[in-house]
Structures are given as C-alpha cells and as structure tokens.
C-alpha cells in the first residue's frame, strides 16, 4: 500500500538569535512562513511484502543520504520505537526543496513521514506524536502544522497566527551549494546574540497580515546572514540584484544559502524571477506558491 504526501518548504521573514543554551543549542525568535512551492513529494509504502525488514530510503538526489542518518529514517525509527510496530517501510523522496538551503526541507519530509504513519496506524495520541516530532528535530513540529507562526525557544515553541494572512509574492533564489546550519550558528557574530526587537517583529506580522508588502519587506531580518554572506559574497550580489530588478526587499532565509525577495504582486514577482534566471542561469529560481494561512 502506498501513501502519498506533500512536504512544504518555509522561509524566515524574521530571525533573531536571542541566546545560547548550555547544551549548545541557540534560542531564537522567528517568523516562519510556509510555502506550497517548492515542495517535496513523499511516498510511504506500508504493508508490502516487498519490504521484508527495515526502513528503506529512496531518493534520486545524491545529496540526500539514504541510510540511518536521513531524518525521514529517524522519524520512522522513532515512530516504530514508540508504537512497537515492526519497521518495514519504504520511503521515496522526490526532492524539489533545495538541500541544506535554509528552507526546512528535511524537517518537512520527516513531518510528512510521521503524519503518514499516524494516518495509517493511528497508534499515538496527538500530544505524544508532537513529542515524537520534537525528538526528531526542532523544526519538525512546525511542519506538522505548516501554518504561519512565531517561533521561539529552539524553534519548537510555536504561536500559530490566525488564518487570513494574504499570499505574499516571493521570489526564491538558491545558489546551488549547501550550508550547514551548525556552521551558520557557530560562526555568527556572538555580539548579535541578545533580546529581540519584538516591536519590529510585531510590525512585520501586522504588515504581512494587512498586505503591506513594502513595509513587510523593509523589516526583513536574519542574524545568521552576515557570517554566511561574508563567507559566500555571491549572496550579497543576489540580494542586490533582486532589489535592482524591482523587489521590495531581500534577505537570506534560515541558515542559508537561499535568498528570497518580497515583491509588490505576483505578476511582478514573475518578472523579477525571469530576470534572475537570465542573469544566473545556473541557479534555481522559484516564485513561491500560495503561502499556507
């Protein structure tokens, strides 16, 4: 039996690092915006005699590990351990979200696996399933919902926004090389770590909610960006070119290296994307699908 799901991506419109914990994790305050494009497609095979034992990961993208280090493998292993079910599953990943790109692709895939297993077996109460998601990865609980949210803690404390956020026209540019989230956090300027400007974040959320995209773009922020851009100056060039082509504002998402820009409307976003594809033909350029509200 095959179960199918779509794993959505996300960007961070705002990312402030507020502290570093004794265990090495960083505390953040962030505005998470899920996007329907780019998105991965996941197929889970259950109750199939061709899967005799173990968890099999299949992905044509060679950058994605297919052993026990794969986060989907970790999610399925966790579900089996918490339910006592035999782990006899095949997980096929059609990768569209850029890898190690700051868009949460791995976490989203893992959330999809947990949801598909739960839909089929119905073995865990929802609070327990939520704890399983957090055990797999800090961003996984967010993708169990995939709704705009303010995230704090290590990204695990979520305040989901009320429905009704308008679609935000966004152009996404991925330069094609990975950046480790661990590297980005370890190399950020420690002087940036401190209390968040909550008024700035609240103003950005309000602007997004009312469709004031110019103000929303003017409030983009990412504490991880300076260190990553210093190492990869092409990211600064991408931001500058997006704005030169008419975007309202641009920033790096998450730990990078993906850069995104907010535009005035979707027609203009398509024009900006076309200009970026012509200028940087070796890079992946997307216009975001509908953001999930």
Phi, psi of 90 (to 5 degrees): -110, 130
Q: What is the pLDDT of residues 117-173, one digit of tens each?
A: 999 999 999 999 999 999 999 999 999 999 999 999 999 999 999 888 999 999 999
Cβ count within 10 A of residue 110 = 29
Among the ranges given (8-12, 51-55, 82-86, 152-156), the one the predictor scored with the smallest mean pLDDT:
51-55
10 is catalytic: yes
- Whether 139 is a known active-site residue: answer yes
Indicate if the pLDDT at residue 51 is higher than 90: no
Burial 156-177 (b: 16+ CB within 10 A, else e): bebeebeeebebbbbbbbbbee
Whole-model pTM?
Answer: 0.94
CA distance 175 to 162: 33
Please name which of 51, 110, 61 lies closest in space to residue 85, comparing C-alpha atoms.
51
Q: Which superfamily does 170-287 belong to? A: GHMP kinase, C-terminal domain (3.30.70.890)
Burial of residue 199 (CB within 10 Å: 0-12, 13-18, 19+) is: exposed
Query: In the chain, what are the domain boundaries?
Result: 2-160, 170-287
Q: Catalytic: which of 40, 139, 223, 239?
A: 139
| Burial class for 131, CB neighbours closer than 10 Å (0-12, 13-18, 19+) | middle
pLDDT at 53: 73
pLDDT in tens, 244-278: 999 999 999 999 999 999 999 999 999 999 999 99
Q: Residues 10, 16, 74, 239: which is the catalytic one?
A: 10
2-160 adopts what CATH topology? Ribosomal Protein S5; domain 2 (3.30.230)
């Amino acid at each position: 039996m095959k179960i199918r799901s779509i794993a959505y991506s996300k960007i961070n419109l705002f990312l402030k690092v507020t502290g570093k914990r004794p265990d090495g994790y960083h505390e953040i305050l962030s505005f998470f915006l899920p996007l329907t494009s780019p998105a991965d497609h996941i197929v889970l095979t259950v109750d199939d005699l061709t899967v005799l034992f173990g968890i099999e990961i299949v992905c044509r993208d060679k950058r994605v590990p297919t052993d026990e280090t794969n986060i989907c493998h970790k999610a399925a292993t966790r579900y089996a351990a918490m339910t006592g079910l035999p782990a006899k599953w095949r997980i096929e990943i059609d990768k569209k979200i850029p890898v190690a790109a700051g868009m949460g692709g791995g976490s989203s895939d893992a959330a999809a696996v947990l949801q598909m297993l739960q839909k089929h077996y119905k073995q865990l109460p929802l609070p327990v399933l939520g704890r399983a998601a957090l055990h797999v990865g800090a961003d996984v609980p967010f993708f169990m919902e995939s709704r705009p949210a303010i995230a704090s803690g290590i990204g695990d404390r979520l305040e989901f926004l009320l429905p009704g956020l308008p679609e935000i026209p966004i152009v996404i540019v991925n330069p094609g090389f990975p950046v480790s989230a661990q590297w980005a956090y370890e190399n950020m300027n420690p002087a940036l770590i401190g209390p968040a400007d909550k008024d700035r974040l609240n103003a950005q959320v309000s602007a997004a909610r009312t469709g004031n995209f110019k103000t929303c773009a003017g409030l983009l922020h990412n504490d991880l960006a300076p260190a990553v851009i210093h190492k990869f100056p092409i990211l600064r060039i991408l931001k500058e070119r997006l704005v030169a082509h008419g975007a309202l504002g641009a920033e790096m998402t998450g730990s990078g290296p993906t850069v995104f820009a907010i535009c005035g409307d979707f027609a203009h976003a398509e024009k900006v994307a076309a200009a970026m594809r012509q200028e940087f033909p070796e890079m992946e350029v997307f216009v975001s699908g509908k953001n999930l509200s």
